Chain A
Amino acid sequence: MDGFIDGFGVVLEPANLLYCLIGVVIGMLIGVLPGLGPAATIAILLPITYGVPPVSAIIMLAGIFYGAQYGGTITSVLLRLPGEASSVVTVFDGFALAKQGRAGTALGIAAIGSFIGGTVSIIGLTLVAPVVAGVALDFGPPEYAALSLFGVLLVATVGNGGWLKAVIAAGVGLLLATVGRDTFTGASRFTFDSLNLADGIDFVPIAMGLFGLGEILYNLEERHHKLQTPAAVANVWPSRADLRQARGAIGRGSVIGFVLGVLPGGGATLSSLVAYAVEKRRSKQPERFGRGAVEGVAAPETANNAAATSSFIPLLTLGIPANATMALMFGALLIQGIPPGPQLVSEHPDLFWGVINSMYLGNILLLIMSIPLVGLFVKILKVRPAVLAPITVLITLLGVYTVANQVFDIFLVIVFGVLGYLMKKLGFEPGPLVLAFVLGSVMETAVRQSLLIFGGNPAGFFTRPISGTVLVALIIVLALPAVRALVRRQKERV
């Protein structure tokens, strides 16, 4: 608990307060802009964090992530234009409410739900973290091998698009992870005799290319529709009746978001969809949904914020990123020379608790900002992509050079930018690739170290309590759909 209280000391340092504010404001801005998502923004800003102290850097990046969830709501409600994938379902009832002249109510409910969802997850994170830290030293190579395998498989199967494309993308990510000097034998793999590739491909150019440059190129191609005039916003504070109606949805949304956010491959988008579906199914009058049901806004907005926060849990406690944005956070920590893992809580308590506690503060800042500043944020949509795109490309290319002072990295960003563009165009998500790339090198090293420790006997993975449990869980998760299908077929036959 000491660390928890000290963490507030860290957050309340003026510099960190400022970074938190910068983070949530940027997050809100890009949340409003369709196209440029939190993953792209964090990727582009990675090199800038390089010169910032680790705690401040992660506080800012985290702010961008959960701030974007707030921002995405605004355009969904007012313009029927979801700024973020995780706000897509909010459009149904949010825009319907706006048409009824109750845009204020929708935004107010969303802000309150987001705040509660986020806070519930932070409390969860606060409680879970020390438990994991207590067994930190029991996490050796076999445990990492099991966890990263779990991560890669879930990521490949629980993507947003089709699973086959996700598996292909993850496969490419795994292959890219093998480039470079073999840690065990010193042999060069896929380096084509280039010293630039001797250490493998760095995470930063891959992330900046796929998420940053690729995203910008893709967006340039999209047609830009004329903006509607946003609905007027009045009377932001929801009535007592609205709140009573939304109460259940906010509660369930918090739990759904928290749980799905922790799972690899889950995250904000999935949890908002699930929360919406749950509310619709539970409702006594499901026909109200899509016509301005307050629950239809409360549930997804609560869930996406809860998930955005809880997805930090596997990263900060186990060093396993749950989604693409967390993979970027992983990269940001590595740039700062801090390997994420179970030791993080005990070795860098200021960072761990500082970041967590900054989220309490960030959520309050967002709640305060989101309501009065709505009109201001909407105007940002008027910035033309023709102005925004070249500037972001320039920042990306300059930024990547500053990380290692290698011109080679600029070429890598361009190559991965083109790849990212082509992937989007052909319906592949870059997320599974980046996640598999991050987890792939962890997995390879851990598996080979484990086998050396076990004297070559793979049964060793199952005889250790933690790695054994993870592997059994993995087998159950993989077998479940098959078993369910089998049972269903049996029933049909009867």
Chain B
Amino acid sequence: MVFQLNRRVLVMAVSASVLLAGCGGVKTTSTGGEGDYPTGNIQMSVGASPGGSTDLITRAIAEGVGKELGVSVPVVNKPGANGALNAKELKAAKADGYKIAVQNASLFTITPLAVSANEAVKIDDFDLITGVSQDDYMLAAPAASGYKTIADLKKAGKNIKYGTTGVGTGAQLASALTFKTAGIAATDVPFDGGAPAMTALLGQQVDVATFQIGEGIENVKSGKLVPLAVFSAERIAFLPDVPTAKEQGYDVVVSQYRFLTAPKGTPDDVKAKLAEAAKKTFATDTYKKFNEANFLTPREVGPDEIKKILDEATAKYKAQLDQYGISLAAKK
């Protein structure tokens, strides 16, 4: 009796694992001619752990696209190397539209400036389907510090310790450029992600820190943090009173973009169907509310426009880093 019970528990545990594993690796059964896409599940992979912005966006889109196309769209997390691991797998996948992914602009524009060549990923290895949204960065200081603008930091006349969310992130690039162009002596203190950087800022271990809007807006609203600048080209709807760095006289524009990609060589009609389904998803109220709740600005532009944004950003960042002699990788 006891033995039986025990065995049953084990069998249950095994089947639970199998089930879990099954959820992760749903095979796409892609058969049939080109015209009737999709005939099976479309897998969306995420190059980050569950819970992050990219993951949440992917899930929101997967739900909508699945409904539009009448197939299920499982989301699989493949975290690793800032998303490069996922990019590499997607690049190698069959270009039939059954494996797609939302990817981050920073992986193509900023990360290559900081990591070794073999880890760098090229945008030309993918077909672009549609732009998704823009996620912005802010520079903030603890309320007790008394800093209100970037100029205040300069007036402080001391070496400013700034926290960032890691090497090769937009947060690091934006801060490095700001302090260099403003001529402020500053030290970069990288943290592993937004949460530890936020803790260090609230505890005043660092003077200021740069992170994504969603990571810091709660503490801004509660008055614990004062935003000094946002790094978007124009002011953002979620923090309308906060001036951009550009307004304050520093030519620093850094945003995170996310867009839907497929392996290179995906048939045009498949791409068109996916773009259409995404467009319909973007138009739903659920999705619009999702964007607002996560402080994302829609950037639902076409493939050519994304390519332009990426190429311009890459060129500009590189030029600025060269001009000011900044290296994101090596320590000064």
Which residues on the A side are within 8 Å of B7 (C-beta)? 383, 387
Complex: A470 Cα to B159 Cα, angstroms: 28
Among residues of A, the one whose C-beta sits closest to the C-beta of B16 is A48
Instruction: Tell me whether A186 and B168 are in contact (CB under 8 A).
Output: yes
Which residues on the A side are within 8 Å of B57 (C-beta)? none
Partner pick for A140 among B3, B51, B114, B203, CB 8 A cutoff: B203
B24 → chain A closest CB, angstroms = 5
Partner pick for B21 among A183, A401, A452, CB 8 A cutoff: A401
Instruction: Tell me whether A29 and B80 are in contact (CB under 8 A).
Output: no
Does A160 sit at the interface, judged by CB under 8 A?
Answer: no
Partner pick for A195 among B24, B84, B168, CB 8 A cutoff: B84
- How does the 8 Å CB contact mask read for A329-352 relative to B, with 1 for contact and 0 for none? 000000001010101000000000
Among residues of A, the one whose C-beta sits closest to the C-beta of B45 is A405
Instruction: Tell me whether A199 and B81 are in contact (CB under 8 A).
Output: yes
Starting from the known contacts A186-B116, A339-B196, 17 additional A-B residue pairs (CB-CB under 8 Å) come to A181-B115, A181-B119, A183-B167, A183-B190, A187-B116, A188-B119, A198-B85, A199-B81, A343-B199, A380-B6, A395-B13, A398-B17, A402-B21, A404-B79, A405-B25, A445-B192, A449-B190
Among residues of B, the one whose C-beta sits closest to the C-beta of A335 is B49
17 contacts between A and B (CB under 8 A): A50-B20, A139-B203, A184-B167, A185-B329, A196-B85, A198-B81, A380-B2, A387-B7, A391-B14, A395-B14, A399-B17, A402-B24, A405-B78, A406-B85, A445-B192, A449-B205, A452-B188
A142 → chain B closest CB, angstroms = 8
The 5 A-B residue pairs whose C-beta atoms are closest, nearest first, are A140-B205, A198-B81, A137-B203, A186-B114, A186-B167
Complex: A137 Cα to B79 Cα, angstroms: 30
Complex: A388 Cα to B11 Cα, angstroms: 11
Contacts A183-B166, A198-B84, A199-B79 known; A453 to B328 CB distance under 8 Å?
no
Among residues of B, the one whose C-beta sits closest to the C-beta of A377 is B2
Contacts A141-B205, A405-B77 known; A195 to B114 CB distance under 8 Å?
no
Instruction: Tell me whether B329 and A51 are in contact (CB under 8 A).
Output: no
Footprint of B on A, CB under 8 Å?
29, 47-48, 50-51, 136-141, 181-188, 193, 195-196, 198-199, 337, 339, 341, 343, 376, 379-380, 382-383, 387-388, 391, 394-395, 398-399, 401-402, 404-406, 445, 449, 452-453, 455
A129 → chain B closest CB, angstroms = 18
Does B161 sit at the interface, judged by CB under 8 A?
Answer: yes
Which residues on the B side are within 8 Å of A188 (C-beta)? 115-116, 119
Which residues on the B side are within 8 Å of A379 (C-beta)? 2-3
Does B319 sit at the interface, judged by CB under 8 A?
Answer: no
Does B107 sit at the interface, judged by CB under 8 A?
Answer: no
Complex: A387 Cα to B3 Cα, angstroms: 11
Contacts A404-B80, A453-B189 known; A29 to B6 CB distance under 8 Å?
yes
Does B18 sit at the interface, judged by CB under 8 A?
Answer: yes
Instruction: Tell me whether A337 and B51 are in contact (CB under 8 A).
Output: yes
B145 → chain A closest CB, angstroms = 14
Majority SS at the chain A contact face: helix
Partner pick for A453 among B114, B168, B206, CB 8 A cutoff: B206
Complex: A188 Cα to B115 Cα, angstroms: 8
Does B331 sit at the interface, judged by CB under 8 A?
Answer: yes
Complex: A452 Cα to B191 Cα, angstroms: 12
- How does the 8 Å CB contact mask read for B257-297 relative to A, with 1 for contact and 0 for none? 00000000000000000000000000000000000000000
Which residues on the A side are within 8 Å of B13 (C-beta)? 48, 395
CB contacts under 8 Å to A, within B180-235, are 187-192, 195-196, 199-200, 202-206
Does B252 sit at the interface, judged by CB under 8 A?
Answer: no
Complex: A187 Cα to B10 Cα, angstroms: 44
Contacts A47-B17, A48-B13 known; A406 to B2 CB distance under 8 Å?
no
Which residues on the B side are within 8 Å of A376 (C-beta)? 2
Complex: A453 Cα to B13 Cα, angstroms: 48
Among residues of B, the one whose C-beta sits closest to the C-beta of A29 is B6
Among residues of B, the one whose C-beta sits closest to the C-beta of A391 is B10
B161 → chain A closest CB, angstroms = 6
Contacts A137-B199, A402-B17, A402-B24 known; A449 to B78 CB distance under 8 Å?
no
A110 → chain B closest CB, angstroms = 21
Complex: A388 Cα to B7 Cα, angstroms: 9
Complex: A139 Cα to B196 Cα, angstroms: 11
- Most B CB contacts (10 A, CB to CB) among A29, A47, A184, A195 go to A195
Which residues on the A side are within 8 Å of B90 (C-beta)? none
